[in-house]
């Protein structure tokens, strides 16, 4: 089981394949590297692929702090430096999509492109912020475990596979409660608008049928060249539920972006 020692932080990662551009997969809130398993299996045949466990998740260490989105993005940047990765494409799900956009804004020479798979709120409406603030209050209260489980259960469509749903719920409810709350606080405090405006590299946002917290018109107003795709018949975890839709859209985005020469720009 490989680890990167980044000062006091120990990050677990998995790496496979070879080929450019390298793809770095960043999971969502309370998830781990396995949440991109179908995409890793597909892209390892032609790309250097890396999937990590963010701090506080999976097999990575659980420090007392550092769960805001800028720090999580710097963790990814430090891992990439340790592994010698350059001009990479970040593929992030949910929270990971937000981290990918922050990374692109902070390190434009590192990030060739970003794919945000049903990302968390980038330019949230007031009602979305109120919902997350209420969830944070519940996570910090006496019924934290029940509140988290109920929230995660609401991210699926009724038709989703029962066993996959059970695995996702159990994984996400195993992360320490203080980590879950700290990351959610970082989501609420994140300046997504500022990050998106500073993001100059190509960006693909893949929305699920449930829609999430991102209105396409608001995203396009901030970044007119953003590409937006929508999957059919799946909930928030659509990279696992309908990889036959998600993976080809990522592949097409990489192909078209490369054809226009954007992946090679600094």
Summarised one tens digit per residue, pLDDT across range 220-241 is 999 999 999 999 999 999 999 9
Angle at which helix 144-153 crosses helix 177-189, to 10 degrees, equals 60
| pLDDT on residue 262 | 63
67 contacts 56 by C-beta, under 8 angstroms? yes
- Residues recorded for the chain: 266
Share of residues in the chain with pLDDT > 90 (%)? 90
Summarised one tens digit per residue, pLDDT across range 13-68 is 999 999 999 999 999 999 999 999 999 999 999 999 999 999 999 999 999 999 99
Question: Residue 259's pLDDT band (boundaries 50, 70, 90)?
Answer: low
Summarised one tens digit per residue, pLDDT across range 186-204 is 999 999 999 999 999 999 9
> Which residues make beta-bridge pairs with 20?
none
53 contacts 12 by C-beta, under 8 angstroms? yes
Nearest to 11 by CA among 88, 49, 63: 63
Average pLDDT of every residue of the chain: 94
Summarised one tens digit per residue, pLDDT across range 130-147 is 999 999 999 999 999 999
- Give yes or no for residue 265 having a pLDDT over 60: no
| pLDDT on residue 158 | 85
Helix (H) / strand (E) containing 166: helix 162-174
Nearest to 202 by CA among 254, 252, 245, 238: 254
Residue 23: helix, strand or coil by DSSP? Answer: strand
How far apart CA 26 and CA 242 sit, in angstroms, is: 18
Summarised one tens digit per residue, pLDDT across range 160-193 is 899 999 999 999 999 999 999 999 999 999 999 9
112 contacts 263 by C-beta, under 8 angstroms? yes
How far apart CA 49 and CA 21 sit, in angstroms, is: 9
Residue 36 has what DSSP assignment? Answer: G
Determine the average pLDDT of the residues in 99-128. Answer: 96
| pLDDT on residue 266 | 39
């Amino acid at each position: 089981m490989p680890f990167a020692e980044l000062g006091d932080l120990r990050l677990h990662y998995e790496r496979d394949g070879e080929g450019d551009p390298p793809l770095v997969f960043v999971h969502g809130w309370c998830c781990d590297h396995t949440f991109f398993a179908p995409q890793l299996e597909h892209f390892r045949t032609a790309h250097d692929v890396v999937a990590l466990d963010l701090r506080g998740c999976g097999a990575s260490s659980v420090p007392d702090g550092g769960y805001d989105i800028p720090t999580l993005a710097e963790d990814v940047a430090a891992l990439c430096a340790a592994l010698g990765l350059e001009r990479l494409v970040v593929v992030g799900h949910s929270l990971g999509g937000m981290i990918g956009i922050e990374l692109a804004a902070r390190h434009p020479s590192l990030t060739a492109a970003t794919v945000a798979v049903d990302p968390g709120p980038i330019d949230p409406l007031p009602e979305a912020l109120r919902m997350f603030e209420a969830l944070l209050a519940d996570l910090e209260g006496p019924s934290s475990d029940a509140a988290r489980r109920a929230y995660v259960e609401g991210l699926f469509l009724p038709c989703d596979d029962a066993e996959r749903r059970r695995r996702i719920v159990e994984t996400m409810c195993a992360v320490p409660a203080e980590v879950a709350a700290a990351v959610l606080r970082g989501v609420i405090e994140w300046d997504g608008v500022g990050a998106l405006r500073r993001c100059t590299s190509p960006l693909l946002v893949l929305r699920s049928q449930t829609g999430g917290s991102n209105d396409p018109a608001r995203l396009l107003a901030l970044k007119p060249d953003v590409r937006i795709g929508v999957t059919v018949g799946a909930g928030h975890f659509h990279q696992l539920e309908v990889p036959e839709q998600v993976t080809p859209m990522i592949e097409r985005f990489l192909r078209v972006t490369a054809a226009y020469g954007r992946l090679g720009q600094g």
